[in-house]
Amino acid sequence: MFQKMFPDIIGPLYLFFGTMGIFLLLKRKIPGIKTRITFLVISTLLGLTAFTPMFPVQFQQLMMGISPGNKPIVAVAAIIFLLLLSTLIFGRIFCGYLCPVGAVSELAYLLKTKKFTGRYGAVISTIRSIAFATLITLAVFWGVSMLDWFGIHAFFHMNTVSPVFYVFLSILFVSVFIYRPLCRTICPMGFMMSLISKFNIFRIQTEKSCTNCTICETKCPTDVPITSRGHNGECYLCFRCADRCIRDSIVYSSNKE
Ligand code: SF4
Ligand code: SF4
Ligand code: SF4
């Protein structure tokens, strides 16, 4: 509805300056909840007004051989490649703060209510692998756009007459109780970034002052093995772990530090 209020260049610019800005912020100090919410709100609003289509949808369109939003296919492929590269270096800053789908899901989960957490990472990763294989097969061989069923486009275009708008709304409702269900199962970018992110250079780590009490791990919605300095590729840089560490022992730093 409000799309096209901004020129197309706003997407790549926001991606570049947003990633750099958040990276520099994280290197200095883990930002407080107000700063984090500010980024999430800005990304959600930009999703409603400027970004069309979103990266997950653009990736699917590339698989279908369609030029996303009438932009040159090569340019979109190059930006997606750079996004994956930036994930390898900086971790999932894009997913954590800049992607409108992730931002609105994160805002939903911030609502204070009972959460359904648990060690179901293996189940989620199986569903995600099946969803990714299905999406690619449908897109490449039949030209079918699986993401359309989940209403991402309809929601961010405020297309309230489309039934799939309400599918996305339902996912958003589930996101209040379960952490980022769409990101962790359906999104093809999420699948690729979670694989890449296992090897990222900058990540959440514990400092020497850590006493190994593991409170931070119990607060992580995606079961990242923080204290063992391991990585499951599922850190969205939400900093619930850091918020709960009374020793201030969690930092965002290079895995060589
Ligand atoms: S997993 Fe997909 S939908 Fe979720 S934040 Fe990342 S790119 Fe966006
Ligand atoms: S909560 Fe802090 S002190 Fe406890 S394990 Fe986590 S980083 Fe270490
Ligand atoms: S709680 Fe910490 S380790 Fe878990 S996703 Fe959030 S930032 Fe990453």
11-55 pLDDT per residue, tens: 788 889 999 999 999 988 888 999 999 999 999 999 988 876 688
Task: Write the CA distances from 1 to 11, 40, 60, 138, 242, integer angstroms.
Answer: 17, 20, 22, 28, 38
Q: Is 251 in the pocket of ligand 2 (CB under 6 A)?
A: no
Q: Give the atom of ligand 1 at the shortest distance from the alpha carbon of 55.
A: 7
Q: What pLDDT does 91 receive? A: 95
User: Which ligand has its closest atom nearest to the C-alpha of 211?
Assistant: 2
pLDDT band of residue 187 (cuts 50, 70, 90) is very high
Q: What pLDDT does 37 receive? A: 96
Mean pLDDT of 240-244: 94
Q: What pLDDT does 144 receive? A: 93
**What is the whole-number distance in angstroms between the Cα of residue 216 and the centre of ligand 2?**
6
pLDDT digits over 94-143, tens only? 999 999 999 999 999 999 999 988 777 788 889 999 999 999 999 999 99
Q: What pLDDT does 63 receive? A: 92
Q: Is the pLDDT of residue 6 over 70?
A: no
Q: Is 205 in the pocket of ligand 2 (CB under 6 A)?
A: no
Q: Is 99 in the pocket of ligand 1 (CB under 6 A)?
A: yes
> Given ligand 2 and candidates 205, 247, 248, which is best to mutate, with the most ligand atoms within 8 Å of its CB?
247
Close Cβ partners of 251 (under 8 Å, ≥ 6 residues apart): 30, 204, 205, 206, 207
Q: Is the pLDDT of residue 255 over 80?
A: no
pLDDT band of residue 85 (cuts 50, 70, 90) is very high
Determine what percent of the chain is predicted with pLDDT higher than 90.
70
Q: What pLDDT does 232 receive? A: 80
User: What does the DSSP 8-state code read for residue 99?
Assistant: -
pLDDT band of residue 9 (cuts 50, 70, 90) is confident
Q: Is 187 in the pocket of ligand 1 (CB under 6 A)?
A: yes
pTM, entire model: 0.92
Q: Is the pLDDT of residue 220 over 60?
A: yes
User: Which ligand has its closest atom nearest to the C-alpha of 194?
Assistant: 1
Among protein residues, the one whose CA lies closest to atom 6 of ligand 3: 238
Cα pseudo-dihedral 199, 220, 250, 109, rounded to 10: 100
How far is residue 118's CA from residue 62's CA, in Å, rounded to a whole number?
A: 35
Q: Is the pLDDT of residue 185 over 60?
A: yes
How far is residue 89's CA from residue 254's CA, in Å, rounded to a whole number?
A: 9
* Mean pLDDT, all residues of the chain: 90
pLDDT band of residue 2 (cuts 50, 70, 90) is low
**What is the whole-number distance in angstroms between the Cα of residue 240 and the centre of ligand 2?**
12
User: Which ligand has its closest atom nearest to the C-alpha of 87?
Assistant: 1
